[in-house]
């Protein structure tokens, strides 16, 4: 619909929602039909950009909502398969055209929707999951940074996997050595990437399905120096510290602790505890690679929290790198919510 200011001057065109707090999502400042040609052009622009920033990877975010000026539309590419999320009423209505465009442009073997996400309820949209066109096998194998990963697009977490850490896997690889620990490993993303540079890696997750996937991925790459353990990471870290276990690299990539601003305080306590425990079991000269995907926790909050954990752990720590999500998840300058992932690489002296 057209958006006008109080004096009826045209401002642009937006998707409208009669339910969400976000009533309008701006699509364009121009007067032009929001039709197939418009959407195809935006999707093509997004795809062209990925060709510039994605290397050696068949799995990446093809369309990242506001970051590609297609608010509330997410499209992840897993090789010959595409996974779509339409997260607002307006985008939901455009879903058939979008599926059609994807079929025409990319000739995928299958387009899947993973609209089984709670934010849809804020739009009064139902939960939905299934094949929109073509087929969806139980397992899709794709390369990420040259490693092979299997994902289940219909049953896996998110759209099958977490694609936003792709560049951070590489960064982690460049520091890793010795004995490493990957907490919240899911499909083994960090663990498998750093395994080549480490003597041994231990990946922890509370989900058995995740660890099955992680082992499958280790097998696919012929990696044998990685072990998996089903555990609550908080409990594991505490027990490891008490048992005097030490690691040269600790990766912490938990799920978002602050999904709402009202959870911020308890989220920061969670991050502090986790990082305190992570620092305690780190050898001198070792690296802590620590992440937060909670938008409400700013980088400054996160740094302050870890600083306070370091003080409590009696550790002297330097900040080696301050990183964020991969470039296939673009940050829109005027929409701060699009910068959500923090990934700090720290070194304990
Ligand atoms: N590092 C992963 C993504 C992690 S997502 C990657 O790069 O792909 C968060 C993971 O943490 C999920 O797999 C979830 O099963 C797991 N998880 C959530 N709470 C947990 C807990 N308390 N202890 C261990 N694992 C947990």
- Which pLDDT score, from 0 to 100, does residue 43 have? 98
Each residue of 35-66: pLDDT tens digit?
999 999 999 999 999 999 999 999 999 999 99
Does ligand 1 lie within 6 Å of residue 291's CB atom? Answer: no
End-to-end CA distance of the chain: give it in Å, rounded: 57
C-alpha 174/C-alpha 281 separation (Å) is 21
What's the rounded mean pLDDT across residues 13-19?
A: 96
- Ligand 1 centroid distance, CA of 344 (Å): 17
What's the rounded mean pLDDT across residues 207-213?
A: 97
**Beta strands, E only, the chain:** 2-4, 10-16, 24-28, 59-64, 73-78, 81-86, 110-115, 128-134, 140-144, 147-151, 179-183, 200-205, 226-230, 247-252, 282-292, 317-323, 342-348
- Which pLDDT score, from 0 to 100, does residue 260 have? 86
Say whether 113 sits in a helix, a strand or coil: strand
Work out the mean pLDDT of the chain and round it to a whole number: 97
Q: Which residues pair with 252 in a beta bridge?
A: 183, 290
User: In this model, does residue 138 exceed pLDDT 90?
Assistant: yes
Percent of the chain past pLDDT 90, that is, above it, reads 98
* Contacts for 289 with CB less than 8 Å, ≥ 6 apart: 168, 171, 172, 175, 190, 249, 250, 251, 252, 343, 344, 345, 346
Q: Quick one: 80 exposed, middle or buried, by C-beta within 10 A (0-12, 13-18, 19+)?
A: middle
Does ligand 1 lie within 6 Å of residue 232's CB atom? Answer: yes
- Which pLDDT score, from 0 to 100, does residue 200 have? 98
What pLDDT band is residue 259 in, cutting at 50, 70 and 90?
confident
User: In this model, does residue 75 exceed pLDDT 90?
Assistant: yes
C-alpha 324/C-alpha 45 separation (Å) is 22
**Closest by CA position to 26, among listed 63, 69, 67, 85:** 69
Each residue of 213-226: pLDDT tens digit?
999 999 999 999 99
Which residue puts its alpha carbon closest to atom 23 of ligand 1? 232
- Ligand 1 centroid distance, CA of 280 (Å): 20
- Which pLDDT score, from 0 to 100, does residue 258 have? 82
C-beta separation of 61 from 328 below 8 A: yes
Q: At CA 284, angle to CA 308 and CA 237, rounded to 5?
A: 60
What's the rounded mean pLDDT across residues 68-90?
A: 98
Spot the catalytic one: 198, 233, 291, 293.
293
How far out from the chain centre does Cα 241 lie? Answer: 29
Q: Given ligand 1 and candidates 255, 271, 289, 342, which is best to mutate, with the most ligand atoms within 8 Å of its CB?
A: 255
Alpha-helix runs per DSSP H in 54-146? 89-106
- Which pLDDT score, from 0 to 100, does residue 343 have? 98
- Identify the DSSP state of 164: T
- Which pLDDT score, from 0 to 100, does residue 261 have? 87
- Identify the DSSP state of 123: G
293 is known as an active-site residue: yes
C-alpha 78/C-alpha 162 separation (Å) is 11
User: In this model, does residue 322 exceed pLDDT 90?
Assistant: yes
What pLDDT band is residue 346 in, cutting at 50, 70 and 90?
very high
Does ligand 1 lie within 6 Å of residue 189's CB atom? Answer: yes
User: In this model, does residue 175 exceed pLDDT 90?
Assistant: yes
Does ligand 1 lie within 6 Å of residue 255's CB atom? Answer: yes
- Ligand 1 centroid distance, CA of 84 (Å): 22
- Which pLDDT score, from 0 to 100, does residue 16 have? 96
């Amino acid at each position: 619909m057209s958006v006008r200011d109080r004096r009826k001057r045209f401002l642009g065109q937006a998707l409208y929602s009669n339910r969400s707090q976000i009533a309008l999502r701006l699509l364009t400042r121009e007067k032009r039909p929001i039709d197939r040609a418009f959407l195809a052009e935006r999707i093509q622009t997004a795809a062209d950009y990925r060709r510039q920033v994605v290397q050696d990877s068949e799995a990446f975010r093809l369309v990242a909502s506001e970051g590609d000026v297609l608010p509330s539309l997410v499209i992840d590419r897993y090789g010959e398969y595409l996974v779509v999320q339409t997260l607002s009423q307006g985008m939901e209505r455009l879903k058939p055209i979008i599926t059609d465009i994807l079929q025409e442009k990319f000739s995928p073997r299958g387009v899947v929707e993973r609209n089984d996400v709670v934010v849809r309820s804020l739009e009064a949209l139902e939960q939905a999951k299934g094949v929109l066109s073509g087929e969806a096998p139980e397992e899709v194998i794709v390369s990420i940074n040259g490693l092979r990963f299997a994902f289940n697009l219909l049953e896996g977490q998110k759209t099958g996997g977490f694609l936003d850490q792709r560049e951070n896997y590489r960064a982690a690889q460049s520091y890793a050595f010795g004995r490493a620990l990957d907490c919240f490993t899911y499909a083994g993303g960090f663990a498998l990437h750093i395994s080549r540079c480490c003597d041994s890696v231990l990946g922890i997750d509370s989900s058995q399905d995740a660890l099955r996937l992680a082992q499958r991925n280790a097998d696919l790459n012929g990696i044998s120096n990685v072990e998996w353990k089903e555990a609550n990471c908080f409990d594991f870290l505490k027990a490891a510290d008490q048992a005097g276990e030490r690691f040269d690299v600790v990766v912490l990539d938990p799920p978002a602790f602050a999904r709402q601003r009202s959870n911020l305080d308890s989220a920061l306590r969670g991050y502090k505890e986790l990082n305190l425990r992570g620092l305690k079991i780190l050898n001198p000269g070792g690296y802590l690679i620590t992440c937060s995907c909670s938008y409400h926790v700013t980088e400054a909050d996160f740094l302050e929290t870890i600083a306070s954990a370091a003080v409590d752990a009696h550790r002297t720590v330097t900040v080696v790198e301050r990183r964020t999500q991969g470039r296939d998840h673009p940050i829109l300058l005027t929409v701060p919510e699009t910068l959500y992932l923090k990934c700090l690489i720290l070194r304990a002296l």
